[in-house]
Structure 1
Amino acid sequence: MNMAHHIAVVLGTTAAPNPQPENATAAGQATGQAADTNSTMADIAATLGPTGTMLVLAMAAFAFYVVSLSLHPNAKCHRCKGAGRHRGALFSYAQRPCTSCKGRGVHPRIGRRILFKQP
């Protein structure tokens, strides 16, 4: 068997539900259902509702963005296209350092400036 089949088998298996006694009252059934810990993603999404699900997804996206900021804090300078210098318009051999990025070729990303208060 290949690895994909093994993963599908592991993900497809679930524990068998506990059988309810036949003489249980409605209140007993409700408490038995509340105590059930075998929740699926659909059950969690139904419990949260559309607003809660969107909130959880937004928090996950924000967490991924913060990790991205920590791994890649700088972006390429758009004025000099990352070269760190400008070429002259009339005399193309003439060069000067980029005034926007001060010759570095990169700028801090907007999220880095806002969230981490760094220049």
Structure 2
Amino acid sequence: MLSKIPSANFAIGDVVRHRILEFRGVIFDVDPEFDNTDEWYEAIPADIRPHKQQPFYHLMAENEEQTYIAYVSQQNLVLDDEEGEVDHPAIPTLFTGFSDGRYQLRPERRH
């Protein structure tokens, strides 16, 4: 019997923070379960490696030094309590603006 995959706790446009690592970002895509390479997965230290049967989120992320794209398990994310904007140069390509602690997806990006 297959185990049930948990539903997503976060949505596209939500601003989240990593529970362990020092970065935050805006969600721009969600995978219902792990959908990356085994090499990427095995590179995560075993003591903090998440299980694969959960939603994984694509983030436009930032830390104090840089912006980048991150792929993060649901168990390692929390809603960002700062509720401030994320400073990532690709945000305008997907989102129209920021209000009430989240980004609004461009109408042409909805499906």
TM-score bin (small chain) = under 0.3
Task: Please give the TM-score of this superposition, normalised by the length of structure 1.
Answer: 0.18
Hey, which of these two has a bigger chunk of strand by percent? Answer: 2
More helix by share: 1
TM-score (norm 2): 0.19
Higher Cα radius of gyration: 1
Q: Which has the higher contact order (CA 8 A, sep 6+)?
A: 2
